[in-house]
Amino acid sequence: MDKCLCAQNVCKAYKDNQVLSGLDLKLEHGKIYGLLGRNGAGKTTLLGILTAQNRLDSGSVTYGGEPVWENRRALDDICFSRELSGTQYSGTNNFRIELYLKAAAMFYRHWDAGYAERLLKEFSLDRKKAICKLSKGQMSMVTIIVGLASRAPFTFFDEPVSGLDVVMRERFYRLLIEDYTETGRTFVVSTHIIEEAAGAFEEVIFLDDGRIIEKAPTEELVSEFAYISGLESEVRKASAGLEVLNTSSVGARTVCAVRGVAPGFAPDADVDVTPMNLQKVFVALCGHGDEM
Amino acid sequence: MRMDLSDQALIYMQIAQMIEDDILRGVYGEDDQVPSTNELARAYNINPATAAKGINLLVADGILYKRRGIGMFVSKGAVEAVREKRKNVFIEKFISPLLREGAALGLSAEDIIAMIRAKGERKDG
């Protein structure tokens, strides 16, 4: 029953704003994916469409070969824990936490009430408190509880750590890994705080301007990239045959970001080679001019 | 306890290196069981697939072996295997940069050897 969630040629526009343009994506069972993209790249729209909470203009999203849209069998296995806000529709979000969780329990077929209780305690949340009275971080905690306790085989988190302090962010990734080692379900997590999350992601997906520009195992991807620095002529010699992403110079010293580095890369030139981390790779690929 | 990994080197390599360090230090002896991928994943907040990659690296090098359904164990002669492997890394990681830095300072290999000897004698005496 290892089903995949697949998006094919998905397009979505809000009026004149083309958010997703011909996007293809295949999510496999049993992986933690990191979804990375800059502000306005289309992450939330993509998550909404993959989980049949947003309509698409053209293309398809299927789960185990069946369309997800209004398909109970597919949606039973999918949870999208959306970001909460203090207002909803036209009024204040007066829902108490306990009511919100009760609604989630009715909605998600695999809901684990005991797990939700444990998480409420772990986060020291007052179940009687109204959503609109919560801090930004506490709202994130509620969305984390919903996502984790849903026990859905495909669970999507949109910025689950936004507003959380560093201790709580680490705790979130610890909870995520713990649950993953027990259940082996699929998680897709979008975040802007890249480096501290990098180790949790088996694969990363880079969304840039409505397109997926990269989807690869995290460490394999990162190890392809490096900075080469030194005298310009030496840097040019060392980077021959590699994809040069960008170049900058400080005085006579040139630094260029390259891709296509083989393991144990040791060019025959007088240069320094520095590895990148995931955050640097992200900036190199999605920075559009702000690379260094 | 939260242990931390550096974000500079590849995580699976760091996992492999840590286990190697523990084997060299005698934390794990021959035929001792090492932590499972899930234990490593939870201890370091990393994806189990990444931890498994580090473990598999050591299996490929003959440093660990697998007992089906039980876990990963330290091979016979693992200390020697780690030392041998580390010697090659030592050249790459320490000797090559030493010679490069020396050349930048106008030091020959002979000069550097003399400096190492002097340093070693001072330490012994």
Q: Is residue B5 part of a domain?
A: no
Contact B7 A198 (CB under 8 A): yes
What residues of chain B lie within 8 A of the CB of A177, using their CB?
A: 41-42, 45-48
Span A1-24, average pLDDT = 92
Nearest-CB residue to A199 (from B2, B11, B38) = B11
SS (H, E, C) B69-97: CCEEEECCCHHHHHHHHHHHHHHHHHHHH
**Same domain? B58 vs B23:** yes
Q: What is the pLDDT of residue B7?
A: 56
Q: Is residue B101 part of a domain?
A: yes
**Same domain? B15 vs B66:** yes
Q: What is the DSSP track for chain B?
A: ------SSS-HHHHHHHHHHHHHHTTSS-TTPBPPPHHHHHHHHT--HHHHHHHHHHHHHTTSEEEETTTEEEEPTTHHHHHHHHHHHHHIIIIIHHHHHHHHHTT--HHHHHHHHHHHHHHHH-
Span B21-47, average pLDDT = 93
pTM over 0.90: no
What residues of chain B lie within 8 A of the CB of A277, using their CB?
A: 7-8
Identify the three-state secondary structure at position A25. strand
Residue A88 vs residue B91, higher pLDDT? B91
Q: φ, ψ for residue B75 (rounded to 5)?
A: -70, 160
**Same domain? B68 vs B120:** no
What does the alpha-carbon distance between residue B94 and residue B108 come to, in Å, rounded to a whole number? 16
What residues of chain A lie within 8 A of the CB of B42, using their CB?
A: 174, 177-178, 181
Range of the domain at B34: 11-77
Nearest-CB residue to A32 (from B9, B11, B47) = B47
From chain A residues 25-84, the ones with a CB under 8 A of any chain B CB are 31-32
Angle at alpha carbon of residue A198, lines to A217 and B49, rounded to 5° = 50
**Amino acid (one-letter) located at A60:** S
Chain A nearest-CA distance from B7, in A, is: 7
What does the alpha-carbon distance between residue B114 and residue A149 come to, in Å, rounded to a whole number? 65
Contacts of B16 (CB under 8 A, 6+ apart): B54, B55, B57, B58
**Same domain? B85 vs B41:** no
pLDDT in tens, A269-279: 888 888 899 99
Q: Is B47 on the interface with A (CB under 8 A)?
A: yes
pLDDT in tens, A134-193: 999 999 999 999 999 999 999 999 999 999 999 999 999 999 999 999 999 999 999 999
**Same domain? B46 vs B70:** yes
What does the alpha-carbon distance between residue B64 and residue B59 come to, in Å, rounded to a whole number? 5
From chain A residues 129-148, the ones with a CB under 8 A of any chain B CB are none
Q: Is residue B71 part of a domain?
A: yes
Confidence of residue B1 (pLDDT cuts 50, 70, 90): very low
Q: Is residue B2 part of a domain?
A: no
What residues of chain A lie within 8 A of the CB of B12, using their CB?
A: 219
Tell me if A27 sits within 8 A of A185, measured CB to CB.
no
Chain B nearest-CA distance from A64, in A, is: 24
For residue B124, is pLDDT > 90? no
Contact A222 B10 (CB under 8 A): yes
Span A82-88, average pLDDT = 84
**Same domain? B64 vs B96:** no
Tell me if A59 sits within 8 A of A68, measured CB to CB.
no
What residues of chain A lie within 8 A of the CB of B48, using their CB?
A: 177, 180-181
**Same domain? B85 vs B117:** yes
**Same domain? B41 vs B87:** no
Place of tokens 């859905």: A152
All structural domains of chain A: 5-219 (3.40.50.300), 224-286 (3.30.70)
- Cβ-Cβ contacts under 8 Å between A and B: the total is 50
Chain B nearest-CA distance from A272, in A, is: 10
CATH number, domain containing residue B38: 1.10.10.10
**Same domain? B57 vs B110:** no
**Same domain? B88 vs B118:** yes
The neighbour count for residue A55, using CB atoms within 10 Å, is 9
pLDDT in tens, A183-238: 999 999 999 999 889 999 999 999 999 999 999 999 999 999 999 999 999 999 99
Q: Is residue B4 part of a domain?
A: no
Chain A nearest-CA distance from B46, in A, is: 5
What does the alpha-carbon distance between residue A153 and residue A51 come to, in Å, rounded to a whole number? 12
Q: Is residue B87 part of a domain?
A: yes
Identify the three-state secondary structure at position A122. helix
